[in-house]
Amino acid sequence: MRGLRVALVLFAAIGWWPLTTSPAFAQAPPTGPLVLHIPTSARTAALGNAWVAGRDLDVIFHNPAQIIGTRSTIDLSVARLGPASTMLSAGSIYAAGKWSLTLGWGAQMVGVNADAARYPFSPDVTLASGSRSGTSALLTAGAAMVFKKFRVGAAVKYVSDMASTAPAVLLPVRVNQHLLLADVGVARNLFGGAAAIAFQNLGRDSRDAGVLLRVPRQVALGWSTTKVAGPLDLAVFTQVTARRDWMAPAAGIEAGYSWIEGYTVTLRAGVRRPETHAEKPVALGAALTADRLTVEYALRLFDGGRSASGVTLRWR
């Protein structure tokens, strides 16, 4: 239980900082494509997107080293990001052979209809509706293996932004950005949990139609642990993300209760330093597992009483 207490203190320490950050420093530098800033599932959204040391299929989008030991599942996520914006994502993981070799793939697509005057789009562009449309997509494939007790993984990502915008002039511009990026990660069991580091979105910036798209090249460092506390299964996830001119802590906690074998109810909460003024630092979620099917829900909060919600289905 000592490890759990330490984890909870760390969760509180990391979580409190975004709540007290001055609004003047709450805006991240503009980077893209948009899809790189949208949580990939209801679980990651509810846990503050603190998933570099995560434990299910979604780590293929965050840290390919952590796909080792993940259950072979097929996941499908649907999120309503705003009145005219939707996100879809899917993926799967397979155990492949020697040295715990594991393969995985993931796909994510975000559709937006908004009057956005600036590009690259920030995540809160999904909260509005308008006449300009945009599509942001991500395809990734990765592999991981064990080397001297370290889990090592790499993934290749194709990302794109296709949008109608007006970056600095009154006339609309059609932007068509396409990039190849890479993630490299390392993880190891440490202090009763998993410690992980990932170098994300490695690659060059892009320019199209005179518009520069800066990629959010970043390093994410995190630790997670799971413990049993009486009838509850508890898990804590922490992360610090650093990129040029931006650093953001995040943390999430979940508590699961199973009253009969194969059936579990889970509640989740997460905090993080948001990338825009519009987003609140707190997110909430819940999940229900019935035999081989898990249904997850997440709610992200924004200013003005606005919100974004999502559902993930997992089948194993």
Residue pLDDT, tens place only, 257-300: 999 998 999 999 999 999 988 899 999 999 999 999 999 999 99
- 0.85 exceeded by pTM: yes
Q: Tokens in use for 114?
A: 């908004």
Give the chain's radius of gyration (CA, Å).
19
Handedness of CA 48, 53, 54, 59 (dihedral sign): positive
Q: What's the rounded Cα separation, in Å, for the pair 74 and 88? A: 14
Q: What's the rounded Cα separation, in Å, for the pair 105 and 242? A: 25
Q: What's the rounded Cα separation, in Å, for the pair 308 and 295? A: 17
Q: Tokens in use for 98?
A: 């020697």
At which residue do the structure tokens 């293929």 appear? 60
pLDDT at 91: 93
* DSSP state string for 102-145: EEEEEEEEEEEE----SSSPPGGGGGS--S-EEEEEEEEEEEEE
Q: For the segment 100-146, what is each residue's pLDDT rounded down to a tens digit? A: 999 999 999 999 887 765 788 888 888 888 777 789 999 999 999 99
Q: For the segment 294-313, what is each residue's pLDDT rounded down to a tens digit? A: 999 999 999 988 999 999 99
User: What three-state secondary structure class fits 277?
Assistant: coil
Give the end-to-end CA distance of the chain in Å, rounded to a whole number. 30
The CATH classification number of 2-315 equals 2.40.160.60
